[in-house]
Structure formats: C-alpha cells, structure tokens
Structure 1
C-alpha cells in the first residue's frame, strides 16, 4: 500500500491542528505556508475531513479549522481511510492463492494495527529529538 500525497498532507493538516488544539481556528493558509504546500490542495483535503466529522470549519475573518474531537481520540487510520480508502496492500486478496493471501492479510493487519494505534496526539508530540539515532556530541 502506497500512501499518496492526499494521505500525507491530510496527516500534516491534522497534526498541525493537534499541535494548536485549544488555541482557536487555524487557517489552511498558515499550514500551507509553514510546510511549503499548496493551499488550494489542502482545501481539497479539508472537505472530506470535515464531511467525515474529523474537523470543523469556522467561518469569518479569524476563521479556519479546528479538530472535531480530542487529538487523543483521532487516529492516523481515521485520516488515511477518509482520504485514501480501505487499507489494503493489494487489491483482490480473496482471489489470491492461500499462501499469498495469508501474506497480504498479515501485512494488511500489521499496517492497520500501527495506524489504528497511532493518534494524532502521538504524532503532534513527537519531536526529532525522540529518535534513537539522535546523538549529542560534545567536543
């Protein structure tokens, strides 16, 4: 399964909203500028996220978007399913021979488990300093 820019940029929107949760509406323009993305493209992604009940839009001069729920209750899977469709490494798993079908189902289940157990709060709180390869050297 390959996640397209729809899924990747949708996660970007949601992570930014999670980082600013409780601070009021966030404009897509500010998200687009801070990540060097197309505002128009982000607007196309915000519609399905709103229709799915993941975000709410606030109109007006100081409007923008806010999360429809707590960041701890929205998973990466929620976002990916809305923007990318069902989570599956290949199409037509049921038509595969049993050995390959078992492999594809195990891959699908592993990916689903990671996405289902990763909240946007987890992603918003992650920093580059948390990576195991981040070493501090003193001279």
Structure 2
C-alpha cells in the first residue's frame, strides 16, 4: 500500500503538492509513482523562471523501466529546482515525499483547491 500523506494535495498524474506558508508550491512524485516506475536513474527538472500552464509537462523522470513526464499541477512560474535530487535521482525511491523536484509560484492560488486531497488520490489509484 502506498504512503499518502494527508497534508498534501495530489494530481491524477501522480504529483504531490505541498502548499508553503508563502503561497508557493513544492512538487514531487508520489510514493505510488516511484513504486510503479522502479529504480529512478535520471531526472530532468525545469529551470527557474519558466512559466508553465496547468497540466503542462515540465520535467522528466526516468527509471530502468520507462521515462515519464512530470506535469505542472497549476499554472505559474517555476521558482526553484532541486539540484540535489537531480544529482541523486535514486533518492526519490528512498523517500518520495522528502525529495521534492521543483517549486512553483501559482498564478492563481484558487487553482490549488481543484487538486485532489489524500482520500481522493487513494480512490484514484485504487481504480487503476
């Protein structure tokens, strides 16, 4: 059973989102996603300053099995990428929730309300 922290928001494409005190979003891939991918061997992260639309592919995660796009959960601007995780992609397998991939300043904070909560995400992956 995948670990699904209650305090986070989620997308159908298996990103987790933590809303920070300053309104920015910290984004990573869920435990379910890293389990499905297997051993993560490479991450391509977005550059700070890039504007993204909701649902836009903005990063790539590669495992020994496959490469998958990572999508922006809401529209906004990339404000940071986690170079430590890019340098050690296997850290995503060790703890998917401790190892964020990028940070985003949302264009509209209300868009966050449309993301799934933990119960919604659990139901989503149960149907898969």
Give the TM-score taking structure 2 as reference length.
0.30
Which has a greater percent of helix?
1
